[in-house]
Structure 1
Amino acid sequence: MNEGKITNKNGLTEEQFLAAYNADKYEKPSVTADIIIFTVSDEEKESYRKLPQKVLKVLLIKRGDHPYMGQWALPGGFAQIDESLEEAAARELKEETSIDDLYMEQLYTWGDVARDPRMRVISASYLSLADSKTLDIKANDDADDAKWFTVSYKLFQEQKTVTEKGYILTRLFKLELQNEDDRLSAIIKTVKAVEGKVSKTEREILESKGIAFDHAKIIEYGIERLRSKIEYTDTAFNLMPELFTLTELQQVYEVILDTELLKANFRRKIADMVTETNEYTKDAGHRPSKLFKFNANWNDTK
């Protein structure tokens, strides 16, 4: 008798059910964690009198083994049975790039059946922003190399079809990643179907050159999320040094959003997020500019 205990239709308590449970009843997919690390850095200046332009960069590792040997991928790898996804992401990042103790937030879970030629693999992707000047990148483990790639992400075709209950928006984007030695590219199609209050977006890689697995799609999604987040959060300040000018901060917003912003409007928008200091820039060839720092309590004032 199992008085006072809940039993199932076979008369088993939870303890009895778990003791008899066959863990091999279902096939087990493998799980990985992949990390998108974005940074914004200065392009080389043509003249010391000109302010350097900002560029968005992503960190990639060169695969040292099959599959996709010699191609570039996001840092990441398989989660072990006794660690959380966050722990797996942090461990893989340190093993492949020597980066430790970096803030990450979960971005999306990718589960297409054929996304990995080895076996069924589900990947949890993580988004991270960092000031690249504070990171010492070194390729370790199964990575042949680790480098920053400048990101170019452009919409080049768009079609909207009205349906009976809403619309379908089809877009084609070109993603280009390059540094002094390598040039990678991909074409990604997104299809957004809207019916009343229900919206669904699907992504497909139409062409990929030099980017391993489905990582072009993950990077594209990461850029879209980043653009959305900096509109309503203080995310962009993770890309800034401790002290910065308002012009530098505006350039970071502009390079992420891929658009020019009106100076007055931008400064009104971020006024509560920054605190003025008594320090100034000391760049040769430029007038000194006031330096600011992030106001961690900006949300409390609203």
Structure 2
Amino acid sequence: MRYFASNRALFAALAGTFHPPFQTSFEHFPCLSVYITLSFFNEFGLNAMPFTYEYPRAALTVDCVVFGFDEGELKVMLIQRDLPPFEGKWALPGGFVRVDETLDEAARRELEEETGIGKVYLEQLYTFGDLQRDPRERVVSVAYYALVKLGEYRIKATTDARNAAWFGVSDIPKLAFDHDKILAAALQRLQGKVRYQPIGFELLPPKFTLSQLQHLYETVLEQKLDKRNFRKKIQGMGLLVELDEIEQDVAHRAARLHRFDQKRYDQLKKRGFNFEL
């Protein structure tokens, strides 16, 4: 029997009809006394199967570092594993990549499946491939980091997660696999990138005070910033819109609220504007 697949989806579907799913271009099934050949023709009309070579294959996963900012503290969202290995241990949300999805799609799917969080700022971080990073098998993980307006989401553990919770970055328990290493890399990336891209606003509510904005940067960068210089620089960029609103229900003098002008930033960026703090 010979099957012809015109695209990846059909190719994957055909592969999944056999148990176990085939891993080579030719498989011999004694009970059927027949050889089955799968031919995959790409968009250029080329049969891809002759270019498939036999070698041990590593599994591919995605892991997500989710940052939030609440009550003056930078936080990370973790899930408690409900399955071995590391059952009961805290870890980053993530999982295996399916054959019919991109890495970005896999990251967003796993994040939503395990925490209920979706449609957030998400960026690829780094690839982690130490030989012994997973006790089950050879696993390579593509890590992502996400920025969340913490007040807009109520996290909920689903699928293989027993629990999901926010932890302050200074109060992280020992994590499963090499997730401590992934978290450290994500924090370093965030600290570097907030200086030259306005991604910090992804962690703030839509309306915020200048004090809240400064405190966010001080928390992420782990350093004290001069109030006068910070405000002069950030307001001089012309990216903040001062609102005719003030803080509500505060014990101190209510401060004026602002919002980030994304449209203005996009226009300036096209003209070569560089965001730099």
> How big is each residue's C-alpha offset from its partner over 1:214-264, in whole Å with a ceiling of 9 and x where there is no partner?
000010011111000111110100011111100000010011111110001
Matched pairs, number: 223
Post-superposition offset of 1:269: 2.3
SS in 2 for 1:94: helix
The partner residue of 1:295 within 261, 269, 273 is 261
Q: CA deviation at 1:110?
A: 0.7
Query: What is the alpha-carbon distance in structure 2 between the residues aligned to residue 274 and residue 20 of structure 1?
Result: 57
Name structure 1 gaps, 5 residues minimum.
1-13, 43-53, 153-175, 178-183, 185-209
After superposition, residues 215-294 of structure 1 pair within 5 angstroms as: 215-271=179-235, 272=237, 273-294=239-260
TM-score by length of 2: 0.77
CA gap 1:279/1:109 in 2 versus in 1, 3 angstroms = same
Separation of aligned partners in 2, 1:237 and 1:16 = 47
In the TM superposition, residue 299 of structure 1 has moved relative to its aligned partner by 5.9
Q: Distance in 1 between matches of 2:93 and 2:234?
A: 32
| Runs of 4+ residues deviating >3 angstroms | 14-19, 298-302
Aligned-pair distance for 1:284?
3.6
Root mean square deviation of aligned Cα: 1.6
CA separation of 1:116 and 1:280: change in aligned 2, threshold 3 A:
same
**Pair 1:68-2:86 in alignment:** yes
Partner residue of 2:28? none
The residue number in structure 2 matching 1:40 is: 69
Unaligned runs of 5+ in 2: 1-43
Q: Identity over the aligned pairs, expressed in percent?
A: 42
Contact 2:121 2:202 in 1 (8 A): no
TM-score by length of 1: 0.71
Q: 1:1-302 to 2 correspondence within 5 Å?
A: 18-23=48-53, 25-42=54-71, 54-152=72-170, 176-177=171-172, 184=173, 210-271=174-235, 272=237, 273-296=239-262, 297-298=264-265, 300-301=267-268, 302=273
Identify the structure with the greater helix proportion: 2
1:139–1:268 CA distance, 2 compared to 1 (3 A): same
Could you tell me how far 1:298 is from its partner in structure 2?
3.2
Contact 2:240-2:259 at 8 Å conserved across structures: yes
